[in-house]
Structures are given as C-alpha cells and as structure tokens.
Structure 1
C-alpha cells in the first residue's frame, strides 16, 4: 500500500475524472475491474470465518455490480456456494457479460431477496460511488429486509444508498460491517451520518498513478485525510544532543475555562507529546493550579478572567511575537472574542480550533 494515497479524499465527480484519465491512457475498463475485484476477493477470503460456506452477492446494474460478479466468480471457483441477487433486468454491457458467464457456470441467480436469507455472508455490490437518487420501491424494501436479518455484510466501495460526497442516506442504505473503499477515499467516509452504515473500512489501492490524482486534485488538495503516518511523522520532534528548550520550538496555547479545564489539560498533553521545546499555556487564573499539576514542565500563564471563569484578556506583559506558533480554542468558550482578533494579527503559524472557530463564525470583520 502506498501510504501517500491514504491522504487523498475525493468527490464522486473527481473520482470519475481520475478514472477517465486512466481509461484514456489505455487501461481497459475490463482489466481494471478484474484487478480491483481480485484485490477485494483476496481481502474477503482473509476475513472469512472458516465456517462460512454460502455467500449472497447483491448485484446492481453498473460497474459496482460488475465488481461484485467477478468476486462471486472467484469465490465460486474457490468452492463457496454462491447465490446472486440481481433484481434489475438492464445491466451495463460489461456487468451483463459477467452475469452471463456466471450463469453458464451454474451459479444460482434470483430476483427475489428471500432465498438470500439463508446465506452466511452477504457482499453488497448494488450501487457504488456517484448514486444521487433516493432508493425507493421494491429495492428499498429489499434493503430494509436485508438489514433486518443482521447478517455480516461486506460493501464494495460504499454501502449502497450512501451519497458519495455528503454521506447522506438516500432513502435507505445497506448497513455494512466492513467496507472496501476502492482507489481513493470518498468524502462519505469522513461524514458522521455515514459511519454507522460503513462499519470498519479499508482502502483498496489499485495503483492509480499519482500524476492522475494530482492532475485533478492539485499538488495541495483542499481536503486531505490525516493518516497515522502523517500525524506521527514528526513526533517527537528530533532533538540535537546539544540543544535546549528554546531551540526546539516555542509554542503558546490559549485554552480552557473554569468549566472546561479538561480541554486545556488534553491540549497541553497533546502539545507536550510533540516534543516541543518550550510550551506555554495561557488559561484563566483559577485553573492554573490544575494545569501545573498535570503539566509541571510547561509554563502556565494565569490570565485575568470573567465572572463565568473564562479568559477576559491576556496578561499585558505577554509578548506574542516571541512564539513560533500559537494554538487557540479548546475549552475557551465563545466569550473571549477580542483574544482571537489579537491572535490573528500575530505573524506566526496559528491553529484555531473548537471555540476559536465558533468565535470566528460570529465576527463579521474576521469572516
């Protein structure tokens, strides 16, 4: 797996454009389908319970259904009993070809969902990325019935019924236990409303050339997924044997309130884990002792506070220009509006999070 691919997140339109570049360059659609389905099949076989013998394949009219049929073929050759639920008569040309071949092998095809109930496992290939219309009628009824069975379900690319970009449920959706996202992460995988349907997930890297990705997304995409590799690449910060704290980063956190002291503590602990040389934390004066107990190595700056226990203002003697980075927001509440305005005028890298972002939403001059 090329870990670089893990960071990219695409919309349905962007994924279509990237795939189109691959096809224009000469990659046959049929060859790519074989490759993708082969990768997914190997993943499925590794995850299968040894007691599973009968597998139901849910097939839609498009290439997602074609992927499912190739997977069905390979599982059939490995000795599993396969039942294909294919409720739609009109299939795309390539999907239809795979359907005909599978039927020639004697695999059982049904257009009624009831026989599939006896399967040990289901593989969902009804709809892939790009679905925008709501699922209704007999198909919605079938999906709801499938979900009521509480069977273990693998979905290909996305659970059928999930909007690729928003994660919205389009009428109804397959509730999968595990989803194999094909090629690049789709935005739905970052949307709360989709997560309970996606289950656990993994990216199936089918070797999309990086040049094709950056041609569509640009060298520096607007949205990037934080990966374990990228999040820990510089943790802890490398230390020279002859360095000291002021030579290894000088960070100021402006966080916390009487009510949300825990947010200040957690932010401070996270900052400490980076290995930053000098860590200063500005908090309301009343919670300074709590921060000192949890982060004795940090410089805790007690700030004047309001009657409700939020930071009223930063101390007059604090020199913001000496810090190499400033982070502000967690547990702050939305009262300290003037502090955010002051921070935005400082010439250094700034991270705004939580309540600092809420403050920005309410300040027309900042927006």
Structure 2
C-alpha cells in the first residue's frame, strides 16, 4: 500500500494550492486536469487489470473534466469507456469543457443518466461531485449515487467520493461508496475521519507534479500520525528509569478496567505500575499478573502516598461516579501530575469543568458531547471542530476516539487511521489510557505520548484482527502486539 504524505488539508486550502499552482507557478489548469485523469486511469488499470469496460459518471464541474480525461485514455488503451452524464456537458466551463470535447472528438460515447437503466460495465468511475460540495445531495445526483452503490461494481472515486464532505468526512445526504479514491495535490482531511472509512476505500494519492514551493505557501495544521520508534534503552537502565504509572479506578464491579489499563502500561514499557482501587478486590486483581502493585484505597489520605511516588496517573478506568470515585478524582486533580483522563473521569469533569495543561482527555463521541454540553450526534457532525472545542475549553491534549481518531494539541490536530471495527468492544479505552500513561512514564511529552499511544493502540488491534478476525476481538488481545510494536 502506498505511503501517504503526512499533511492533510481542508477543501479551501486545496483550492488555494490549485490557484497558486495555476496563477503563480504558471501550470495550466488543463495540464493539471490531464494529469489527474491520467492518475485515475493508472489507478483503475493497476488495481483492476482485467477490466474491459468502464462507466464514467460525470457531473457539471471540474471533477467531471478529470473523468472525461480518464474515459478518453481508457478508449485510447482499447477499453470500452462510456461517459454517463448528469447535467448537460455542453454547459461545462473552461478546462472541463475542453476535456469533454476532447473525449467526444476521440470517438467517446456519451449517455444521459436515466434512473431505470442498469449500469453495464466492469467498473464505475465516480466523477460526479468534487470537494466544493457544501449542501445535501438531491435530485438526479442523489439518484445517480444510489445507482452506483446499487450496482455492486468496483468503484474508483475521483478526488473524493461524490457526496462526502471533504472537511468533515461525513456524507451530505448520501455519498458514493468507493473501493478506491484517487485524490490529488493535497490530501483532504475528511478522507480520514468521520464516516469516510465507509465510503473512501483505499486512498491513492498523486501530487500531479506540483512543485514543493507551492505547498510551502499554505500553512497546514492537520497531520497524519506515523509510528516513531522509541529511543533504545540504555544498557544500564533499571525500573526506576522507566517511570511509575498510577492507575486510579476500579470501583466495585469494575475492577477489570483498572487492571487492563495497568497491564497495558506495563506492556508498553513502564517500569512500575500501581493501581489504587477498592480494598474489596485489591488483593485479587493481580493474581495472574503479579507485576501489578494493587493497593486498597478508601480515602484521599490513602491515595496521597501513591500519588507522591507516581510520575503519571491514569484516572478514570472503572472509577464510577459515586462518592468513592468523586473523592479520588478530586484528589488527583489537585495534584500537578501529568494524567490521562478517561471514562468516568471525563463524566465527572463534565459536571464540574476546569482546565489543565498537563492532562490528556480521551473521550469517545458520547463523552465528548457531555464535555461540550452537546450530543454525540453533534460531535460526529464535525469531529475536527469538536476536538478543537474540547482542547480550547479544557486545555492539555484532547483525543477524540473513533474511526480516524483525532488528537488536538495547541499546535496541531493529528489524525490516526489505525484500528478497525473489531475495537467496538468493552475495555479498549482502558487499554488506551494505560498505553498513553506508560509512554509518558518513559519520558514522552503529553502530545507525543497521545499521538503515538493512539497509533500503537490501533495498530495492535489491526495485528490482532489480522491474526484472528475482527469479530470477537477483546481489549486484552492487544497486549502481546503492543509489546511487539514498542520493540
């Protein structure tokens, strides 16, 4: 699979890159369109080499021009290519109109889209709508999208699946479900979060030979996370050098959450892990993981000696929202320790908001909605805005979990695309808290620990799913793969 660039852009930023390339670097728009159409053709022939016929769905904008170029190239290569038009192609403008006329002049066939007609082709190219879409898809365009999705054929989307919002990754009413998206010049941030994983398929990038100096003119603030190897350990290292994690949680009935967080911290390399939990099960929690130091804690006075020894705290796994959990939550927040706050720690925070620079908040959309006094649905409508709002309101680092997890700091938003639907099971967030805390214990700053922790957590889940499948994946299945990854 292609290694993608790290930088992501909003749709307006990509339009600015286009403008700079054309107006200031004198690259003709028609040249960029020919390169884009060529990239689409190379993509489809490379991935589906036995395809003999294409149905290229073209709309009324520049996206259609890329489609007509791809259709013309397909005809020149001996394939049967048919352009299926939504709207009058003679009303196209500029380079797109030129691309359409070049296709017709080369002998290309054009058919007006009709709802009742089946798509007769081996593959569909989606060149209906581009990144400028800002309202719900209706009418013939919605019907064309439905026909493409109903066809069961492989689909290559041009730049972005039609109907998908390039900034949020959510469909505007409806969207094409592509097997592959060939995207150009700048990677669109919406291809990597929201519901994009359901629509974009594999993402293939082509910079269209735009000079690096063009990209230097636009300042990005969204990036893809890649794995960064941890520093090798000094040959004389001892457990005291590797940090001490304190997990605070595990109310009655929820001891497993704190246990999983603690073991995850150990598996990524923390030197010591203590768990402050209920006395009733403190003596049992480490029966088959004796490396965990489990202490019964019933008051703030019991907790303070453990807090003093810790380098970092994971606050919230199984904490609950009763008096015991509230007491420990308040005690930890009065300290200045770096901390990872999750689960009921976030719910307690939502009821009494405050800010800290030294913490990492790791909400799922429901918890994020509570932190913002909103709803999960509102959060999911624009995940980038939501994670930025959490960071602005609470400080520190905000991690908005989900498909395409977002990590917001004061300088950037990072996007991690690791992980899979098998992670839709209990305990995954507890493991993530332990992973991030374990990385902080070893000396990573909170931003790098959050970004790398999310990446490693999702990658471990991908490796576990590759071995045994997604369905039935357990949070503890990630632990051996975490050890593998950090090494």
How big is each residue's C-alpha offset from its partner over 1:32-83, in whole Å with a ceiling of 9 and x where there is no partner? Answer: 3333443343332221162x21111111222222222222233333322111
Q: How far apart in 2 are the matches of 1:12 and 1:184?
A: 9
Q: 1:128 aligns with which of 130, 139, 143?
A: 130
Gaps of 5+ in 2: 356-393, 395-487
Secondary structure, counterpart of 1:56 in structure 2: strand
Displacement of 1:160 in angstroms is 0.8
Residue pairs, 1:167-246, within 5 angstroms: 167-182=169-184, 183-187=186-190, 189-192=192-195, 194-198=196-200, 200-206=201-207, 216-217=218-219, 221=221, 223-227=222-226, 229-230=227-228, 233-234=229-230, 238-246=232-240
Q: 1:272 aligns with which of 251, 266, 271?
A: 266
Q: Which deviates more, 132-141 or 19-28?
A: 19-28
Secondary structure, counterpart of 2:83 in structure 1: strand
Q: Any conservation in 1 of the 2:170–2:190 contact (CA below 8 Å)?
A: no
Secondary structure, counterpart of 1:346 in structure 2: coil
Change (3 A) 1:260 1:12: farther
Change (3 A) 1:301 1:125: farther
Q: Any conservation in 2 of the 1:85–1:116 contact (CA below 8 Å)?
A: no
Q: Structure 1 length as normaliser, TM-score? A: 0.81
- RMSD value over aligned CA atoms? 3.1
Q: How far apart in 2 are the matches of 1:290 and 1:37?
A: 63
Q: Which deviates more, 180-189 or 103-112?
A: 180-189
Q: How far apart in 1 are the matches of 2:197 and 2:260?
A: 25
Equivalent residue number for residue 47 of structure 1? 47
Q: How far apart in 2 are the matches of 1:212 and 1:350?
A: 40
Q: What is the count of residue pairs matched by the alignment?
A: 348
Matched, 1:17 2:16: yes
Q: Any conservation in 1 of the 2:11–2:188 contact (CA below 8 Å)?
A: no
Q: How far apart in 1 are the matches of 2:127 and 2:284?
A: 54
Q: Which deviates more, 113-122 or 103-112?
A: 113-122
Q: How far apart in 1 are the matches of 2:351 and 2:212?
A: 40
Displacement of 1:299 in angstroms is 2.5
Residue pairs, 1:258-337, within 5 angstroms: 258-288=252-282, 291-293=285-287, 295-304=289-298, 315-335=302-322, 336-337=325-326
Change (3 A) 1:149 1:242: same
Change (3 A) 1:263 1:102: farther
Q: How far apart in 2 are the matches of 1:284 and 1:214?
A: 55
Displacement of 1:204 in angstroms is 0.7
Change (3 A) 1:58 1:332: farther
Matched, 1:253 2:252: no
Residue pairs, 1:71-86, within 5 angstroms: 71-86=70-85
Q: Any conservation in 2 of the 1:40–1:204 contact (CA below 8 Å)?
A: no
Q: Any conservation in 2 of the 1:321–1:346 contact (CA below 8 Å)?
A: no
Displacement of 1:290 in angstroms is 5.7
